[in-house]
Chain A
Amino acid sequence: MKIALAGNPNSGKTTLFNALTGSNQFVGNWPGVTVEKKEGKLKGHKDVVIMDLPGIYSLSPYTLEEVVARNYLINERPDAILNIIDGTNLERNLYLSTQLMELGIPMVMAVNMMDIVKKSGNKIHLDKLKQKLGCEVVEISALKGTGVKEAAEKVIQVAKRKTAVPPVHKFAAEVEDVLDSIETKLGSGVPEEQKRFFAIKLLEKDDKIGMQMKQAPDVSDEIKYIEKEMDDDTESIITNERYVYISSIIDECYTKVNTKEKLTVSDKIDRVVTNRFLALPIFAAVMVIVYYVSVTTVGTWATDWVNDGVFGDGWHLFGIESLYIPSIPELIGNGLAAIGCADWLSGLILDGIVAGVGAVLGFVPQMLVLFIFLAFLESCGYMARVAFIMDRIFRKFGLSGKSFIPMLIGTGCGVPGVMASRTIENDRDRKMTVMTTTFIPCGAKMPIIALIAGALFGGAWWVAPSAYFVGIAAIICSGIILKKTKMFAGDPAPFVMELPAYHWPTVGNVLRSMWERGWSFIKKAGTIILLSTIVVWFTTYFGWVDGQFRMLEDMELDHSILATIGNAIAWIFAPLGWGNWRAAVAAITGLVAKENVVGTFGILYGFAEVAEDGAEYWGALAGSMTAVAAYSFLTFNLLCAPCFAAMGAIKREMNSAKWFWFAIGYQTLLAYVVSLCVYQIGTLITTGAFGVGTVVAFLLVIVFIYLLVRPYKESNTLNISAKAMARVK
């Protein structure tokens, strides 16, 4: 038996889902889209599957979530719908209920947050609600767990009955007449109980539904007639009629004590938090706390502990000298040595697999700390205010106000930064954020900046700030350019956002959300990180020495496969000013982790150990490239494809191979173009040298400016194929 859980965002749907299913949950994605799909078995009923539909306000064809939800309802036809509605926000929640009732699927309505309603002294008359909507109604409090069991039993009961009660609500007489005539036209191809739904969708000119029907009758006469009669488009007429009906019954169903004068606690909080003058300081303070705890202190301690302790040189329990606990590579290394394992195999296990696993797990503690904050900010209601406060700045670049948090976290580490983009609902904004977050110089890119600044610019103060400037400029320009491209211009992004009432989230919900996100990173991003670490390990430690293929020592890097690859591709970087194989190899090892760039240069210049900023070989590096070339090398490494861990996170968040490669390809292309322009135009200014490269650079600048300023029109159609989605079952 399949039961769909449907309701508005912020109606307590997730809490109810958790209460119904406990830990029997399966989280995935709806086919072909990034919308999360959750299903679970009802506690105590192994044969009942609860499908958690995305939170939606309507069944319109304009947002991804709505299309996903209605395709499921129409094509899969669950045995019953459990419609959760927020009792403190009855009118708007009932709007969706009127649409769900028309589907011809048995339905139970669960009025949530009844504890808050009762506390405020207001009354909801369930019997009236049942009479006016035509479905069973129960009252619950998902947070307190009251009424949940009864709701589950009721929904099983109506599902067993198999037949849906026809909807009670009626529209104006003219509209009803037109609907009747369309229903007659539908004929026997559509089951009786679904006729009203399809008739309304046809009248609304909803072509996504029209395409899914085997044969859609021509209803243009009806549309023309009613549009003339009521002086509005049919879509608006229907929407209007629904609210007219709800307004007409609301007084009977809902008795409100006079609270006009009294402010709720939530109102009082909001007065301060989004106050004209206090909003920005409070926002800054919240962000500082999030950053300080999850990046500067606790998160970094945890990550350092995993990277340097558990997967590094071992650690001391509670920091006590005598309680030494060896690291995992140490333990495994000793074990392998004891059984006399071959060098290449222990190399593969230690430097390939264990290091790869360490690279995945190393990010997890920091991420979990960050996810606790995000889950808290989201469920208490502040995240919506972040979007409200920052919207004006970010929407200009095709981003959401909520993009601020991924970017901020990205200055510490791009991996949790990319993962933080999950809080953005709008698909287009989220993809844009995922693509641009890693342009911000993260902590691991600092040593590269220190290296270039120290070796070629005499430690000039402006190098580091300029790196941030390049990163921010890359985000802004990318936002403006990308939002005009076909890939992004497809989907509309109406910013009409609910600002939910503030409330304390439960510890359970916050922890569950933290764990789900952390686990999905390990599962989805882990594979790509592990595999690429092994590949780079192999190419680094194997190569030809004197015509013989064998495993290499640390200092023999210049004989490795990697060096061969570096030599082979170095010409690609010649126009950027650093077409020597050392720089090419360093850029490749930078993909494992950006700070590797410094160490790789060290080995290639013959130093086994170098300082974090590579001070030992500054002279040698300065001799091999000009200052302009070095800056071009810096910009390339800042902007190009991030480290494998961040790529894994991008892959996880994009959830599509096409989008993943588009993101990586775009980042690398942009890095190449910017570095080329920096080198060619920089060389022209410093030395006056003019050549083919300079011409190309100027042409690229012109194309770039054109892409920035070309006019474009916001699209009005949701760019997904309803048919294709219907086919994937």
Chain B
Amino acid sequence: MKTLKQVPCGQTVKVTKLTGEGPVKRRIMDMGITKGVEIFVRKVAPLGDPIEITVRGYELSVRKADAEMIQVE
């Protein structure tokens, strides 16, 4: 199963499922990362974590550990 963590910079992917539970999952979903939405991976922070993505027309930064909860295709 591919997760957002494995997506290289410059690629657009589609969210298939969100795993996990509780505040982090709710927060991720509140910010607009829901099933079926397209995510563009913009860049990785200079120290290698977190990553910057574009979702629903705005920029969001997500830690790689949390990006693992987002399954994509």
B66 and A388 form a contact (CB under 8 A): no
Instruction: Answer whether A60 and B30 are a contact pair too, CB < 8 Å, given A89-B58, A492-B23, A495-B63.
Output: yes
Q: Hey, which chain A residues are within 8 Å of B58, CB to CB?
A: 89, 92, 498, 501
Whether a CB of chain B sits under 8 angstroms from the CB of A58 is yes
Type the 1/0 row for A86-121, where 1 means its CB is closer than 8 Å to any CB of B.
Answer: 001111100100000000000000000000000000
Q: Hey, which chain B residues are within 8 Å of A240, CB to CB?
A: 29, 34-35
A718 and B23 form a contact (CB under 8 A): yes
Q: Hey, which chain B residues are within 8 Å of A95, CB to CB?
A: 30, 32
Type the 1/0 row for A267-291, where 1 means its CB is closer than 8 Å to any CB of B.
Answer: 0001000111101100000000000
**Which of A58, A274, A387, A716 contacts B46 (CB under 8 A)?**
A274
Whether a CB of chain B sits under 8 angstroms from the CB of A301 is no
Once bound together, how far apart are the Cα atoms of A403 and B50, in whole Å? Answer: 16
Q: Hey, which chain A residues are within 8 Å of B32, CB to CB?
A: 91-92, 95, 243
Q: Hey, which chain A residues are within 8 Å of B29, CB to CB?
A: 236, 239-240, 243
**Which of A243, A391, A492 contacts B49 (CB under 8 A)?**
A391
Once bound together, how far apart are the Cα atoms of A498 and B53, in whole Å? Answer: 10
Type the 1/0 row for B27-48, where 1 means its CB is closer than 8 Å to any CB of A.
Answer: 1111110110100000111111
Whether a CB of chain A sits under 8 angstroms from the CB of B10 is no
**Which of B23, B34, B43 contacts A494 (CB under 8 A)?**
B23
**Which of A274, A496, A718 contacts B62 (CB under 8 A)?**
A496
Q: Hey, which chain A residues are within 8 Å of B26, CB to CB?
A: 58, 60, 62, 235-236, 239
Whether a CB of chain A sits under 8 angstroms from the CB of B59 is yes
Binding site secondary structure of chain B: mixed
Q: Hey, which chain A residues are within 8 Å of B43, CB to CB?
A: 274, 276
Query: Which residue from chain B places its CB closest to the CB of A204 in the assembled complex?
Result: B26
Whether a CB of chain B sits under 8 angstroms from the CB of A499 is yes
Q: Hey, which chain B residues are within 8 Å of A244, CB to CB?
A: 34
Q: Hey, which chain B residues are within 8 Å of A718, CB to CB?
A: 23
CB distance from A393 to the nearest CB of B (A): 7
B46 and A496 form a contact (CB under 8 A): no
- Which A residues, 478 to 511, have Cβ-Cβ distances below 8 Å to chain B? 492, 494-501
Once bound together, how far apart are the Cα atoms of A389 and B49, in whole Å? Answer: 8
Whether a CB of chain B sits under 8 angstroms from the CB of A233 is yes
Whether a CB of chain A sits under 8 angstroms from the CB of B52 is yes
Q: Hey, which chain A residues are within 8 Å of B45, CB to CB?
A: 274, 279, 388-389, 391-392
B57 and A89 form a contact (CB under 8 A): yes
Once bound together, how far apart are the Cα atoms of A496 and B58, in whole Å? Answer: 13
Count residues of A near B (Cβ-Cβ below 8 Å). Answer: 46
Whether a CB of chain B sits under 8 angstroms from the CB of A57 is yes
Q: Hey, which chain B residues are within 8 Å of A243, CB to CB?
A: 29, 32, 34, 37
**Which of A60, A275, A390, A496 contacts B60 (CB under 8 A)?**
A496
Instruction: Answer whether A497 and B23 are a contact pair too, CB < 8 Å, given A92-B56, A239-B29, A280-B46.
Output: no
**Which of B57, B59, B60 contacts A91 (CB under 8 A)?**
B57
A392 and B27 form a contact (CB under 8 A): no
Once bound together, how far apart are the Cα atoms of A391 and B27, in whole Å? Answer: 18
Count residues of B near A (Cβ-Cβ below 8 Å). Answer: 34
Once bound together, how far apart are the Cα atoms of A500 and B57, in whole Å? Answer: 11
Once bound together, how far apart are the Cα atoms of A500 and B60, in whole Å? Answer: 8
**Which of B21, B37, B60 contacts A233 (CB under 8 A)?**
B21
B47 and A392 form a contact (CB under 8 A): yes
Once bound together, how far apart are the Cα atoms of A495 and B60, in whole Å? Answer: 10
B30 and A389 form a contact (CB under 8 A): no
Query: Which residue from chain B places its CB closest to the CB of A278 in the assembled complex?
Result: B46
Type the 1/0 row for A583-609, where 1 means its CB is closer than 8 Å to any CB of B.
Answer: 000000000000000000000000000
Q: Hey, which chain B residues are within 8 Å of A276, CB to CB?
A: 43-44, 46
Once bound together, how far apart are the Cα atoms of A393 and B24, in whole Å? Answer: 20
Instruction: Answer whether A498 and B60 are a contact pair too, CB < 8 Å, given A57-B31, A274-B46.
Output: yes
B21 and A60 form a contact (CB under 8 A): no
Once bound together, how far apart are the Cα atoms of A235 and B26, in whole Å? Answer: 7
A498 and B31 form a contact (CB under 8 A): yes
B27 and A62 form a contact (CB under 8 A): yes
Q: Hey, which chain A residues are within 8 Å of B3, CB to CB?
A: none
Q: Hey, which chain B residues are within 8 Å of A275, CB to CB?
A: 46
A389 and B46 form a contact (CB under 8 A): yes
CB distance from B48 to the nearest CB of A (A): 7
Q: Hey, which chain B residues are within 8 Å of A270, CB to CB?
A: 59
Once bound together, how far apart are the Cα atoms of A623 and B31, in whole Å? Answer: 65
Once bound together, how far apart are the Cα atoms of A496 and B32, in whole Å? Answer: 11
Q: Hey, which chain B residues are within 8 Å of A91, CB to CB?
A: 32, 56-57
CB distance from A268 to the nearest CB of B (A): 13
Type the 1/0 row for A54-69, where 1 means its CB is closer than 8 Å to any CB of B.
Answer: 0001101011000000
Query: Which residue from chain A places its CB closest to the CB of B9 in the assembled complex?
Result: A276
Whether a CB of chain A sits under 8 angstroms from the CB of B7 is no
Type the 1/0 row for A234-277, where 1 means its CB is closer than 8 Å to any CB of B.
Answer: 01100110011000000000000000000000000010001111
Query: Which residue from chain A places its CB closest to the CB of B46 in the assembled complex?
Result: A279
B57 and A239 form a contact (CB under 8 A): no
Q: Hey, which chain A residues are within 8 Å of B24, CB to CB?
A: 492, 494, 496
Q: Hey, which chain B residues are within 8 Å of A236, CB to CB?
A: 18, 25-26, 29
**Which of A58, A499, A501, A717 contacts B61 (CB under 8 A)?**
A499
A388 and B61 form a contact (CB under 8 A): yes
A57 and B46 form a contact (CB under 8 A): no
Q: Hey, which chain A residues are within 8 Å of B27, CB to CB?
A: 60, 62-63, 494, 496
Starting from the known contacts A89-B56, A496-B28, A499-B52, 15 additional A-B residue pairs (CB-CB under 8 Å) come to A60-B23, A63-B27, A92-B56, A243-B32, A276-B44, A388-B45, A391-B61, A395-B63, A495-B50, A496-B27, A497-B60, A497-B61, A498-B60, A716-B23, A718-B23
List the 8 closest pairs (A to B, CB-CB), nearest first.
A62-B23, A58-B30, A499-B59, A392-B47, A492-B23, A716-B22, A494-B27, A279-B46
11 CB contacts below 8 A, A to B, read A63-B27, A89-B56, A90-B57, A92-B56, A92-B58, A235-B26, A239-B29, A274-B45, A496-B61, A498-B58, A499-B61
